[in-house]
């Protein structure tokens, strides 16, 4: 069974209480359940993680190179600042979907640039927690096409 890594960056552990008008009222645990349910219908396993530490995200991306069929990454604020995450993603050959709960392009100008987008297979933003399900659907489709 193929495994997807779903990696979440800084402050996403505060979902449900941090700016719910921007990020919604669902917790990260709620999103994990949604993701597991969505992956199950495709026969996919999920490795779901969150960290506030940039280097830990880099380590997990490097680990995913040999253990995952694809990655869903919500790098949080590191999206806009981390060349290290960009470089770790560049070193992967698997599909990567960048996910954001909000639409960064409808927010502050500093959020309009992503170091992740240029090396991701695709980007999903602005659909709240549903974005993770959409990312799983997209990766499942890509992986099924790779097997055909």
Q: Which domain holds residue 22?
A: 3-72+84-97+121-147
1: DSSP letter: -
> Which residue out of 5, 78, 86, 100 is catalytically annotated?
100
Tens of pLDDT, residue by residue over 37-60, are 999 999 999 999 999 999 999 999
Distance CA 104, CA 6 (A): 19
128 lies in some domain: yes
- The reported pTM is 0.92
Judge whether residue 148 has pLDDT over 50: no
Q: Domains in the chain: how many in total?
A: 1
Mean pLDDT of 2-20: 89
Catalytic residue among 23, 78, 115, 132: 23
5 carries an active-site annotation: no
Whole-number pLDDT of residue 20: 66
d(CA 87, CA 100): 20
Which carries the bigger pLDDT value, residue 111 or residue 56? 56
Task: State residue 2 phi and psi, 5-degree precision.
Answer: -75, 150
Q: Is position 107 within any domain?
A: no
Q: What is the mean pLDDT of residues 110-132?
A: 91
113 in active site? no
């Amino acid at each position: 069974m193929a495994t997807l890594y779903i990696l979440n960056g800084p402050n996403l552990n505060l979902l449900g209480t941090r700016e719910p008008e921007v990020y919604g009222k669902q917790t990260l645990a709620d999103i994990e359940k949604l993701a597991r349910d969505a992956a199950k219908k495709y026969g996919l396993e999920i490795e779901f993680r969150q960290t506030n530490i940039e280097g830990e995200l880099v380590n997990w991306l490097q680990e995913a190179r040999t253990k995952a069929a694809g990655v869903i990454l919500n790098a949080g604020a590191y999206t806009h600042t981390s060349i290290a995450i960009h470089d770790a993603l560049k070193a992967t050959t698997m599909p990567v979907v960048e996910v954001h709960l909000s639409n960064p392009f409808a927010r502050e100008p500093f959020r309009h640039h992503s170091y992740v987008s240029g090396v991701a297979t695709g980007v999903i933003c602005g659909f709240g927690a549903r974005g993770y399900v959409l990312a799983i659907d997209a990766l499942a489709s890509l992986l099924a096409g790779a097997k055909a």
